[in-house]
Amino acid sequence: MSAMSQAPKLLAGFADPVFDAQAVFRTLMSAIAYPGRVFTLEREVEVPAPLSLSATALCLTLADFETPVWLDGKAASPEALAHLRFHCDAPIVGNPEMARFALIADAEKMPRLIEFNQGVDQYPDRSTTLIIQVPSLTEGAEKTWTGPGIKGSIAPRIAGLPAWFWDEWALNRELYPTGVDVIFATGNAIVGMPRSIKVER
Amino acid sequence: MPSETEQKDRANWLGILARARRADIEAVWPAHADPLEFEWLRKPQPGLVMVRGRAGGTGNAFNLGEMTVTRCALRLADGTVGQGYVQGRDRKHSELAARLDALLQLEAHRDGLLAQVIEPLRRTEEERRLERSRKAASTKVEFFTLVRGANPT
């Protein structure tokens, strides 16, 4: 046996990198433009444990050698790390403050939102975008969201978030124009929650 | 982790495969490398690579220019990953390089392939280089300056 095969088994990326990434990016733009709506990514891709299809596809689409990625303890499995290094060439950082993207597989134990990069007034786009893997997008406690992109209000039911999450989100919103953006992911579905969204506690 | 000598050997054969021409590889293509079951990790994709240089080996690195490189990666059934990085835009060339790289990592095939494939490719490359330097050398012009009185020695 060769020495290489002792490393975690590498998985394939997008079958068609250009069109698959474009399709995922298009869906993600819609998800950010219409916060709270559930969008599904109609693409097939091999998924390293413990990531979901949507989280994997988002990483393949968004991350590259210029975007440091932070993974929480659960997401940072050898398979997932090898996958991100091989397909995205993304630097993996140990400090959430340094990250452009954060991949969170265990939402219950995630760091506080303020520990991620908030961006600065001149460059609010430099804040971290959080990809949070949750058990369900439709079976959690109902919350009322309002803000740009939502006509009236919408009531998503994101499950599996820590108890402090929505209080922290209110603080995050007060930092506007800085602050983090969040994408919830499960299975092949995503829900976008940009920093402009107000959520009733 | 592969040992240092293993890494050096692999770098060596990957370099030879990268510089070889596709026709040369096909000429020495071993029969037992077909058919080979594999899955694509990364299908062949041409792209640009910035080549950096350093004057005299001591100067600061500078960007010499971009070159076209085609790369791909594949996985054999046992998980061995073969990488193909070759000059130019020939997708098939990078596929052949990746398949050979994967097989060369398997102990069972290594020595045979090194003798049958890599060594002939290395010789072809060396001959081609010598040929080119001979041609260049034959056009060499010796300049000297006429100094009043005597030629400089």
- Average pLDDT, integer, range B107-122: 89
Domain count, chain B: 1
What's chain B's average pLDDT? 87
Question: Above 90 in pLDDT, residue B112?
Answer: no
Residue B80 covered by a domain:
yes
Look at the block and give the residue holding tokens 């990483």. Answer: A59
Mean pLDDT of chain A: 91
Distance of CA A97 to the CA centre of its chain: 15
Of A141-145, B54-58, B141-145, minimum mean pLDDT range: B141-145
Q: Specify if B135 maps to a domain.
A: no
- How high is the pLDDT of residue A157? 94
Per-residue pLDDT reduced to its tens digit, A3-62: 444 567 788 888 888 999 999 999 999 999 999 999 999 888 889 988 999 999 999 999
State the average pLDDT over residues A106-129.
94
pLDDT at residue A57, rounded to an integer:
95
B chain contacts of residue A45, beta-carbon cutoff 8 Å: none
Model-level pTM?
Answer: 0.81
B66 within some domain:
yes
> pLDDT value at position A1?
37
Owning domain of residue B66 = 33-126
Identify the CA nearest to A144 among candidates A201, A73, A192. Answer: A201
Task: For residue B71, give how far its alpha carbon lies from the nearest alpha carbon of chain A (Å).
Answer: 12
- CB interface of A with B, residues 65-104, below 8 Å: 86-87
SS3 B85: strand
Facing residues of B66 across strands?
B50
Secondary structure (3-state) at A148 = coil
Which of A1, A3, A10 lies nearest to residue B41, judging by beta carbons? A10
In a domain, B106, yes or no: yes
| Of the candidate ranges A80-84, B33-37, B145-149, the one whose mean pLDDT is the lowest | B145-149
Residue B10 forms part of a structural domain: no
Is there a domain that residue B3 lies in?
Answer: no
pLDDT > 90? residue B30: no
Pairing of β A129-133 and β A101-104: parallel
Indicate the range of A125-139, B53-67, B116-130, B136-150 predicted with least confidence. Answer: B136-150
How confident is the model at residue B79, as a pLDDT? 84
**Mean pLDDT across the stretch A90-105?**
94
Q: Which of A56-60, A68-72, B32-36 has the lowest mean pLDDT?
A: B32-36
Q: Do A5 and B107 touch (CB under 8 A)?
A: no
Residue pair A133/A153 in contact (Cβ under 8 Å)? The answer is no
| Domain annotation covers residue B76 | yes
B34 has pLDDT over 80: no
Best of B81, B83, B106 to substitute, by most chain A Cβ atoms within 10 angstroms, is: B81
pLDDT of residue A117 exceeding 70, the answer is yes
B contact test, residue of A2, A10, A83 with most B CBs within 10 A: A2
Strands (E) in A28-71, as ranges, are: 39-40, 69-71
Q: Give the pLDDT band (50/70/90) at residue A198.
A: very high
